[in-house]
Structures are given as C-alpha cells and as structure tokens.
A = this chain, B = another copy of it.
C-alpha cells in the first residue's frame, strides 16, 4: 500500500468514525420527526378557518337559481368554474369542478379510459392488450401507484432542468401505439420543483404519437404555489394542443387541497370541449353531482382570483422559511460533498436531495433509526425502484420550523455518515 493510499484509508476511517459519533449524538436526542408527506401545517389550515362556518345557514343559492343543497349540477357551480378558469387555462365551460381530491379525478379518467376508452379511442384501453404510460422521473408516487394497480406498464423518462427529455419522449410515442398517456407535473414538479419550459410544452403539444388517443395527464397541482417573489408561469397546454391539431390531447388537473383545506377542497379538471363532454358522460352513471355546498363555500371564501393569490401569499409566508431553513442547513453541512446535490425549488411542496449513488436507502434507514421519518427511498420512481438509489424527497411544510431545522440537520448527518461508509 502506498503512503498516500494508506493516508486516504485512515482519513476515510476517521471520517466514518466522526460521522458515526455525531450520528450517535443525534440518535440520543430521541427525536420524533416526520418529513414524509406533502401536507399543509395546522397554521396553513388556519388560514381557511372561515370555511368551517361558511356558507352560513341562510346562504345556499348559487348562480342560475341553483339550490346547492339539492341534487344535480354535474359539472360544478358556474361561479366556481369561472373562479378557477384562469388557473386551469380554460374557459369556465371547459372546467369541471368536482369533490375533494384531484387524484380521484385522475384515477377516474384512467378507469373510464380502461373500461370505455377516451373520446378518441376505437375501444376501451383495457381491451388493447398491455398499455404503457410515460413517467418522467423522479415523479409523484401516487401517479405510479395508479399505473401499478391497473397493470399499466411504466416507462421512465429522465426529467431535466426544463422538463422531460423530449427527444426520448418524441421517439417513444412516435413508434409505440401502446403508449397511451404521459404523466406531467408541469410546474414545481413533485418532487424536483421542475418547471417545464415553453419549448418543452410546445413539443409535448405538437409531437406525433402512434396512439390516436394519446393523453397528457397534466397534473398542475402547484399552479399557484409559489415559494419566491416570482410567480412562475407556464405555457398553456390546452391552447398549444389546439394550435397543433391535437385539441383533446391534454387532461388538466388541479385542486384546492393545498390552497384551502387538504381534505375538504375541490378537485378541478379542464380539457377540450370534446373531452369535457366525454368526462361528463362518463360521470353520469356514477353520480348525480358533486357537493355543491362545498363549492359555494369556496366561492364565498376565495371570492376571485385575487383572493386566491392573496391566500397563497399567506401560505408562502408560512412555508418559505421552512424551505429556506432546509436549504441553509444543507448548504452548511453538505456543500461540496461529492455526489450530493439538492434542488432549490421556486414553488411546490418538496426539495429533492440527491445522495451519493447507492446511499438513499441507507440515509432513510439511518434517519428512521434516529427518529426522523422520510419518504421511502425510491418512492419517486415506478415500482418504488430508484435505479441509482440516490433520490430522497424532503417535505418541509408540515412540521414546525424548529422541527424542520432539527430534521434537516439530522438528514444531513445521515447523508454524511452514509457517504463516509461508502
């Protein structure tokens, strides 16, 4: 062994020892912290406390002489569809306002497509043999779970700085008619914070697809969820699809789950007139209509788009410091560590931490042992399998600021230990 190699080895052993000592101190604290899920904090929920007493005992009539207490109104209240038209990037007539959970809407359009086909399908997707969806990675685990549940093959494509690898996407969809859809989180993507560039969005709208009934599952979950002064805007997918002759290519989803109340918000859908007609026809056997009182409640509380933006500023005041705290701590402990990087999102609910290759599972296990619950390593990948075992999703919104700091410190220590062990 050369002297230099021996020194390296000794240094390495020392680094592990030092990291382990710090980790033992961390463990001894007996923390009980949770950074797993993108949940709003109680303080964020308090911002919408007024909703809990709305609309009030004498207020139940909506536009068009609609008694919101009774049955009907499948597409949702007109004033609510108008309220969200700007955010959805579609006229109110092309918006569907539903019950809580945009995830349920996404699930349902897929279930309807499997059982009956889209408005452009020759037959039900379930009768096409194996079908596949493109899955930009890292991505949202619940999107992937829907695919897994229904045996839809997931084809990962790399998510870059400005969106998915479009050369790969175009190549795949052009040749393979079994590719029926693609998951997209175009703004402040979960978990990377990626914003799709105009060029990427236009290519998604314009590309040739082998499947005539190909769909972009456009989950714009963080449409107004800014973390900086900059209100990042993205290109309008519905307009671009129409411009390029694929008017019905995109299903656009959003919700107020992280605007008002996480469990009691409104799910929203927008698409071409043909798609909306299709969805309403598919929903008709399922339900007579959504909870219109909750819609009225939201209309009374949010009032207009300015009301939504003002509320989102209050959210930002509560959560931006938590993101900043995590970034500061990572900078302090992890800057310059080989193979370690993290995202600095301008919006959304997550920071992605990239550990050295092969370390993510170890980091999550170490953190768990020290009382810090992290999203399982691999979760942002189809079937929970991160091919490089690197990506860790950090969700800083739910705990108090002091807990976020403790947890971030702890995670940084775990990264250092796992890296040193390597």
Chain A residues engaging chain B, CB cutoff 8 angstroms? 37, 39-40, 42, 45, 48-50, 52-60, 67-73, 99-101, 103-104, 107-108, 111, 114-116, 126, 142, 145-146, 148-150, 257, 261-264, 284-294
Chain B residues near A69 (CB, 8 Å)?
Answer: 45, 48, 52, 261-264
Contact call B115/A286, Cβ cutoff below 8 A: no
Contact call A263/B37, Cβ cutoff below 8 A: no
Chain B residues near A100 (CB, 8 Å)?
Answer: 99, 287, 290-291
Contact call A285/B145, Cβ cutoff below 8 A: yes
Measured between alpha carbons, how far is A398 from B285 in the docked complex, in Å? 22
Contact call A263/B107, Cβ cutoff below 8 A: no
Chain B residues near A149 (CB, 8 Å)?
Answer: 116, 285
Contact call A52/B45, Cβ cutoff below 8 A: no
Q: A101-B288, A146-B285, A287-B103 are in contact. Are A57 and B68 (CB under 8 A)?
A: no
Contact call B50/A285, Cβ cutoff below 8 A: no
Chain B residues near A42 (CB, 8 Å)?
Answer: 67, 70
In the complex, given contacts A69-B264, A70-B263, A104-B286, what are 16 additional A-B residue pairs having Cβ atoms less than 8 angstroms apart?
A37-B71, A42-B67, A69-B261, A69-B263, A70-B262, A71-B262, A71-B263, A101-B287, A116-B149, A145-B284, A145-B285, A263-B288, A263-B289, A263-B290, A264-B291, A294-B294
Measured between alpha carbons, how far is A294 from B99 in the docked complex, in Å? 11
Contact call B264/A71, Cβ cutoff below 8 A: no
Chain B residues near A292 (CB, 8 Å)?
Answer: 263-264
| Complex: chain B residue closest to A150, CB-CB | B115
Contact call B70/A107, Cβ cutoff below 8 A: no
| Complex: chain B residue closest to A42, CB-CB | B67
Measured between alpha carbons, how far is A107 from B285 in the docked complex, in Å? 7
> How far, in Å, is A226 (CB) from chain B's closest CB?
21
> How far, in Å, is A395 (CB) from chain B's closest CB?
12
Measured between alpha carbons, how far is A146 from B286 in the docked complex, in Å? 7
Q: A50-B57, A53-B53, A69-B262 are in contact. Are A115 and B114 (CB under 8 A)?
A: yes
Measured between alpha carbons, how far is A186 from B184 in the docked complex, in Å? 46
Contact call A39/B70, Cβ cutoff below 8 A: yes
Contact call B104/A115, Cβ cutoff below 8 A: no
> How far, in Å, is A253 (CB) from chain B's closest CB?
13
Measured between alpha carbons, how far is A148 from B142 in the docked complex, in Å? 31
10 interchain pairs, CB-CB under 8 A: A42-B70, A45-B70, A48-B69, A70-B263, A108-B286, A115-B115, A116-B150, A126-B126, A261-B293, A263-B289
Contact call A264/B285, Cβ cutoff below 8 A: no
Measured between alpha carbons, how far is A292 from B261 in the docked complex, in Å? 10
| Complex: chain B residue closest to A108, CB-CB | B286
